[in-house]
């Protein structure tokens, strides 16, 4: 049975790398909020957090629209972002309406380790400017953001995947066990 696979969770937990790897494994497309945001950021001038949030919202809107379209044709796709309750509510409504299957894999990890990864990525991985306008500059701000996201209402059942002390291969193997086959 075809399904929509949602990869969500903590910042810097390996969501993008996992989505790419699962896409190759299952031979289905994946789409990420980060890439949509980068494309929009290249075409739309933005300054400051408010305009950046509008680009983020548009990126989420594109992902929820993709979920709807794949559900209509009974297709499989991977959608990756740190989805919030509102976006998951929309996806759930659309997918259930079409009687399609959706699975949510939620990546978590040790907050100190994730914050280190987050800072490294921000400073050394040549991040697109559209990702650099957020206020998460201290461990406390980072923790507050992550804990708020983790504590949102569980709209879809979360298949939890703890990335603590895991390399990309271990994360991939854990995800395969959680997701199973597409048949």
- Residue 182's pLDDT is 67
For residue 48, pLDDT beyond 90: no
Confidence of residue 148 (pLDDT cuts 50, 70, 90): very high
Q: What are the Cα distances from residue 5, in Å, to 100, 150, 181?
A: 11, 19, 11
The pLDDT of residue 169 is 96
Q: Which residues contact 177 (CB under 8 A, 6 or more apart)?
A: none
Could you identify the residue written with the tokens 């703890």? 162
Q: Is the pLDDT of residue 124 over 90?
A: no
Pairing of strands 3-9, 158-162: unpaired
Mean of the per-residue pLDDT values of the chain: 91
Q: What is the pLDDT of residue 183?
A: 57
- Which CATH number fits the domain that encloses residue 40? 3.40.50.300
In this prediction, residues 154-167 reach a mean pLDDT of 96
Q: How many domains does the chain have?
A: 1
What is the residue range of 16's domain?
3-179
More confident residue, 35 or 51: 35
- Output the pLDDT for position 47: 79
Contact between 137 and 154 (Cβ < 8 Å): no
**Alpha carbon of residue 129 to chain centroid:** 19
């Amino acid at each position: 049975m075809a399904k929509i696979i949602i990869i969500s969770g903590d910042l810097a937990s390996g969501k993008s790398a996992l989505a790419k790897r699962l896409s190759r494994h299952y031979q289905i497309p994946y789409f990420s909020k980060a890439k949509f945001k980068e494309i929009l950021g290249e075409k739309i001038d933005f300054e400051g957090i408010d305009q950046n949030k509008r680009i983020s919202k548009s990126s989420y809107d594109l992902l929820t629209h993709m979920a709807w379209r794949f559900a209509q044709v009974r297709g499989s796709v991977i959608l990756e972002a740190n989805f919030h309750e509102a976006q998951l509510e929309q996806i759930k409504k659309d997918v259930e309406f079409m009687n399609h299957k959706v699975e949510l894999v939620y990546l978590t990890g040790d907050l100190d380790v994730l914050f280190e990864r987050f800072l490294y990525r921000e400073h050394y991985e040549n991040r697109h400017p559209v990702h650099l306008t957020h206020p998460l500059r201290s461990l406390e701000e980072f923790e507050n953001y992550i804990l708020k996201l983790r504590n949102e209402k569980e709209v879809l059942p979360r298949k939890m995947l703890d990335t603590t002390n895991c390399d990309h291969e271990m994360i991939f193997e854990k995800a395969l066990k959680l997701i199973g086959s597409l048949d």
